[in-house]
Amino acid sequence: MSASSDHANSVFASVVQAPEDPILGVTVAYNKDPSPDKLNLGVGAYRTEEGKPLVLKVVRKAEQLLVNDPSRVKEYLPITGLADFNKLSAKLIFGADSLAIQENRVTTVQCLSGTGSLRVGAEFLARHYHQRTIYIPQPTWGNHPKVFTLAGLSVKTYRYYSPNTRGLDFQGLLEDLGSAPAGAIVLLHACAHNPTGVDPTSDQWEQIRQLMRSKGLLPFFDSAYQGFASGSLDADAASVRMFVADGGECLAAQSYAKNMGLYGERVGALSIICKTAEVASRVESQLKLVIRPMYSNPPIHGASIVATVLKDRDLYNEWTVELKAMADRIISMRKQLFDALQARGTPGDWSHILKQIGMFTFTGLNANQVAFMTKEYHIYMTSDGRISMAGLSSRTVPNLTEAIHAAVSSVA
């Protein structure tokens, strides 16, 4: 029997080949390239100066403690996850002195990293919130619209990034949120906006808060980079805490992929802040009904690592030092790239590289220029010109500078 008739006989013969994920597809193409000079700036994961993945020393220590504890078992966790982890995660993002935590108005459930936290939150809102429209920034992380749409929410966008200034379109943001229907959900990146690296100032956050509260818009924070953006856990949670302090309700999705380097452990949390402890308890009961048929309960290992680090003062302090070192290396890469482009006399203003924050820089390069850099210089990035600063090193800055210079000089 020929291969083609095999296909015809398959009950799945009508299934079409899906396109590669635009972000993960960059790595697929990179892996196929035999060039020794190839550079992957598409991946959203930290790399050392040598270009290697990093497991934090504090994570290794915590794992050793867990392995050496004979009382540890592999039993199922509750539907909501590891209790210690949930309590400590809420404290980390909302602050140790948070009134909402003291008043038991917060419900926190362990989820499968940031994506899982967003999905569980979105499914809950689609079932139990009166407004099924969510506004997401334009642009935003590529997975956001898919997660919210599949959960049953209607996705709209608000202006966020200005290509002209390569900064925040604050006026556009205020206009779009100002004309959103009362009660609409608004996705906010807590810090280090992905993909642009452009964040509102503290004053701008306060104006956003006032506008959203006056219109009864519901904030849903995505916090993927706490401590990883500025090097300070508190500074990177300031926007979230501003909204929590006014006593209003909000949601927050947390991920430990970046700030603890636990990418493949899939460790995250969803917190919902409610008006009263009684409402929070009812919300938690419904979150369980979202989670149980989805994946029953979350994995134990990654959450145990996080809880071990967060509850031990010495390990926690050690973590903050390692976290700051990662943030500082990324900040130094920004400076090195900016200085190299200046020294090379590359056309254009590149100051946005220094102004943007976090793992990514939105270079302003267009899809044709990106394609040119991949073909001629074996440099891989997403077609929107987003580069991962964490994938850069002192060794690779000169080649990237050369590639950017050639691209902006010769490709429209």
Instruction: Average the pLDDT over each of 157-161, 285-289, 385-389 and give the range with the smallest value.
Output: 385-389
Q: Report the pLDDT value the prediction gives residue 189, as an integer from 0 to 100.
A: 98
Q: Residue 6 pLDDT more than 90?
A: no
Catalytic residue of the set 61, 141, 236, 350: 141
**211-246 residue pLDDT tens:** 999 999 999 999 999 999 999 999 999 999 999 999
Catalytic residue of the set 176, 222, 236, 319: 222
The tokens describing 348, both together, are: 């254009």
Indicate the average pLDDT of the chain.
95
Residue 222 annotated among the catalytic residues of the structure: yes
Contacts of 306 (CB under 8 A, 6+ apart): 85, 88, 89, 256, 260, 262, 267
pTM of the shown model: 0.94
Cα–Cα distance between 377 and 380 in angstroms, integer? 9
Q: At CB < 8 A and 24+ separation, what contacts does 6-10 make?
A: none
Residue 176 annotated among the catalytic residues of the structure: no
**327-349 residue pLDDT tens:** 999 999 999 999 999 999 999 99
Residue reference for tokens 């949670």:
237
In this structure, are strands 218-223 and 185-189 parallel, antiparallel, or unpaired?
Answer: parallel
The tokens describing 411, both together, are: 């490709």
**267-314 residue pLDDT tens:** 999 999 999 999 999 999 999 999 999 999 999 999 999 999 999 999
Catalytic residue of the set 61, 169, 236, 258: 258
Residue 350 annotated among the catalytic residues of the structure: no
Distance, first Cα to last Cα, the chain: 52
Q: Residue 252 pLDDT more than 90?
A: yes
